[in-house]
Structure 1
């Protein structure tokens, strides 16, 4: 790895020779491999014994692996039972469980793609909370929507908007995570592109953009609400100096996070700034390079505060209610009385009643990619069940015929190839599973079955291993 000379000189001056020596050796090493289990689908799971290399100290559902398997060929990854995520990013779990445990809460993950921190947040939020997971870039937002649907929690809205759009939405949040675009210094050993794109000029561009992003959404944070600021870079311009700006100019109090000395998390590197911030450095901590700080907005929190509504809110809700449908196969999900069923452009979604007002407000001014549980698409008198339904924790499996696939069949299904179902499989929509875990739907028409797996999700590799290499144990 050849690092930019300007980066070396700046970072060495920041850290001192001894710490720089540790970082430079760490950047030359292979990055650790880690996964995080989905507690809603894999509560009692663990890595396969042959791969396990200990737990991530700051996240109970995080595990290190002793090598990097080919995750693409594991059906359980595609079913959402775990997420491949570098360990340092899982520190968000520690933050959430310390400061966002009283709920329900409404949270915004502003720059969320591909979804790692959003799935951490959704797992840590109190039950009944709502997560709005947003990504400004369209192609990345589609990946985010896919990963959040695989995660399978119904209390999520995925949006594709710029930060300033949330100021116009009139929505208010208890927690906002700003994992802002940065110069990427902490990802050098994972991403060669980050090295080639690094420059002093880009650092200058990034810290200014980061302040704009936080300023754009600051009005959407409730008084007393939490702002979690995160980057994957080392320099203090994008880290400590921006935190100082937020606390002094916008009005926020920095909060300490409980940590263990054995984790070797580094504090502030900015002279004269002795505040609680958390920096993960390769070679010192077991993960990639990230920076995180937690702040509380000045003012008293109102536990009963709800998204701001204008005088037309009631009329809007009445108008939206006309889109609801009674014939939407309510029994496809558990506890259907907990949901409103809303149809738009022939797509029916189950929206939890607890946050229907938030959905209605968001739908007026934000671009929503998914919300709640997408149930299916109406075609004539038929409703085609959605992939999101198959992967939802609220799926009522008993309302569908089910077919267990072996490993070769499961991979064929994920490649959107024809899969022959057992001869005694009833006609109609069939939930196909691997190791008892739902993968998606097929429509059995007798002489063949149509694979309903989304074309944009399919595994593109033409090679498939002959045998299943277990990555996690589900029992």
Structure 2
């Protein structure tokens, strides 16, 4: 791999000859493979990622597309260095919060945050590009936690939600220097001009979203790049522009994390410095840590900020009111009987904390305590999904939703008959092909499992079972690799 000359000159001046030469060698090597296990689903004795409780390194890359556990949300393939976000949430978030992951697709940090946030928290995961927001919703659905909202908006769209979020994660689009060995396209697209575009765009993103952070709230700023223009200098700008207070994290020396590159007097990123240039920041370099390039800083919004959020309103939206004026809402196709069936599918112990609602032909479940916040978001944001879609009425039938199969939190154990299927059957199911069940299998909706982990629903009608796996999520490849490696 030929690194861009301008990158070499700049980064050598930043790190020094010895460190840069080590970095250049590391960039030419094969990247490590790491995953995060879904503690709601699986357990495995793998080599742990030191800074992530459920992160593990793999000895080799698996055939992820053809691993049913991957599609079942049993684990997420995530770069190890980026799992460092967990340390912020564990050290600074100790009670329920409303958190925004602003640039969230495809969902690595969102699924991670949802795993470590205090129970009772609400995660809002946003993606500005529409098709990527659908991928984000898919991955969060598979992860299985109900207290999640997925939105499809630009940062500026959040401007009406003043002082709304306790925590905002901004993993901002960057020049991608930290992804060079993992993604050759990142090398081809890199240029000094692109670095200039990136740091300016990053500041616009922070300026757009800052009013939505509560006074005293936490901003997590991260990139996957090395240069100080997008990293330290932007952190310094956030301090100056908004009066933000940089926060230090407790880290271990053997993690080999690099500190502030603008402050040459010390490499100790654990200590809060006596100047803004010495703000505690955290660099991951692949020649020092087992992962890709990553940068993170944590900042607190001043308590003196006077941004106030208008009182939440759970009243009808303007569109709904206009609809009423035109002759009333469309009669619901969801009957009381459908609702009773849906409620019977839910875990009785969890149900009191959630509200069951109807939207068109769909029945959904959402945490009761955040109903007003959801109503406020619906007034200004494009909601892709919220909570868990537990079923949809088609004709006279209520068909259980795939999200219900994935929600080990809400699904009532034993309410559906289950069939544990073979690897070959699982792949056929994930391709949305017909599944042959044993003659002893009961008629009606059946929850298929693979290694006792839910994959999704089928409807057994006797001679065949109708495959209810989401069409848009299916495995499109019609062949199996010669060698298959799964978890």
TM-score, with length taken from structure 1: 0.92
SS at match of 1:316: coil
- Counterpart of 1:46 (choices 20, 44, 53) is 44
Distance in 1 separating the partners of 2:62 and 2:457: 27
Q: 5+ unaligned residues in a row in structure 1: which ranges?
A: none
Cα distance change of structure 1 residues 91 and 437 upon mapping to structure 2, 3 Å threshold: same
Aligned twin of 1:384: 399
Compared with structure 1, are the counterparts of its residues 395 and 314 closer, same or farther at alpha carbon in structure 2 (3 Å cutoff)? Answer: closer
| 1:314 positional shift | 4.9
Equivalent in 411, 415, 422 of residue 399 of structure 1: 415
State the partner residue of 1:276: 280
> Do structure 1's residue 409 and structure 2's residue 425 form an aligned pair?
yes
Q: Tell me if the contact between 2:33 and 2:59 (Cα under 8 Å) persists in the aligned partners.
A: yes
| Structure 1 Cα separation of the partners of residues 317 and 355 of structure 2 | 12
Partner in structure 2 of residue 232 of structure 1? 224
When residues 467 and 266 of structure 1 are mapped into structure 2, their CA distance, relative to the original with a 3 A threshold, is closer
1:74 matched to 2:78: no
Residue number in structure 2 paired with 1:27 = 27
**How much does 1:81 deviate?**
1.2
Q: What corresponds to 1:362 in structure 2?
A: 377
Deviation at 1:10, TM superposition (A): 0.9
Contact 2:418 2:449 in 1 (8 A): yes
Aligned pairs for 1:104-119 (under 5 A) are 104-119=96-111
| Alpha-carbon separation, structure 1, partners of 2:133 and 2:421 | 31
Range 439-448 or range 322-331, more displaced: 322-331
Shift of 1:271: 4.5
Question: What corresponds to 1:13 in structure 2?
Answer: 13
Q: How much has 1:72 moved relative to structure 2?
A: 1.6
**Cα gap change, 1:340 to 1:446, in 2 (>3 Å):** same
3-state SS in 2 of match to 1:333: coil
Find the aligned partners of 1:149 and 1:314 in 2 and give their Cα distance.
25
**Which piece of structure 1 moves more, 424-433 or 120-129?**
424-433
Deviation at 1:397, TM superposition (A): 3.5
- The residue correspondences of 1:15-414 to structure 2 (distance < 5 A) are 15-42=15-42, 45-47=43-45, 52=46, 54-101=47-94, 103-170=95-162, 172-271=164-263, 273-299=277-303, 308-309=310-311, 313-316=313-316, 326=336, 327-328=338-339, 329-334=342-347, 335-393=350-408, 394-414=410-430
- Matches of 2:309 and 2:413, distance apart in 1: 34
Instruction: Determine helix, strand or coil for the equivalent of 2:478.
Output: coil
1:4, distance to aligned residue in structure 2 (A) = 0.8
CA offset digits 1:426-458 (Å, max 9, x no partner): 221111111111100111111111111111111
1:347 and 1:288 map into 2 onto residues whose CA distance is 42
Structure 2: tracts of 5 or more residues without a match: 265-276, 322-328
- Rounded to whole Å, the distance in 2 between the matches of 1:21 and 1:165 is 44
Asked whether the equivalents of residues 171 and 358 of structure 1 are also in contact (C-alpha less than 8 Å), the reply is no
1:470 offset after TM fit, Å? 4.6
The aligned residue for residue 440 of structure 1 is: 456
User: 1:41 & 1:167 partners in 2: Cα distance?
Assistant: 37
2-side partners of 1:307 and 1:152: how far apart?
30
Cα distance between partner residues in 2 of 1:307 and 1:128: 21
C-alpha distance in structure 2 between counterparts of 1:159 and 1:332, whole Å = 27
Q: Is the CA contact 1:171–1:362 (under 8 Å) kept in the aligned structure 2?
A: no
Tell me the matched-pair count.
458
Structure 1 position 197, deviation (Å)? 0.8
Structure 1 Cα separation of the partners of residues 404 and 188 of structure 2: 41
State how far apart, in whole Å, the 1-side matches of 2:248 and 2:406 are: 37
Q: Distance in 2 between matches of 1:211 and 1:333?
A: 44
Alpha-carbon distance, 1:325 to partner: 6.9
Q: Distance in 1 between matches of 2:418 and 2:345?
A: 13
Q: How much is the aligned-residue C-alpha RMSD, in angstroms?
A: 2.2
Task: Quickly say closer, same or farther: Cα 1:343–1:70, change in 2 above 3 A.
Answer: same
The DSSP-based 3-state class of the residue aligned with 1:294 is strand
Q: Write the distance in 1 (CA, Å) between the matches of 2:286 and 2:305.
A: 37
Q: State the shift of 1:168 in Å.
A: 2.3
Inter-partner Cα distance in structure 2 for 1:244 and 1:218: 15
Once the two structures are superposed, the pairs formed by residues 421-440 of structure 1 within 5 Å of their partners are: 421-440=437-456
**Which stretch of the first structure deviates more once superposed, 462-471 or 91-100?**
462-471
C-alpha separation in 2, matches of 1:421 and 1:307: 54
The DSSP-based 3-state class of the residue aligned with 1:315 is coil
- How far did 1:406 drift? 0.8
TM-score by length of 2: 0.90
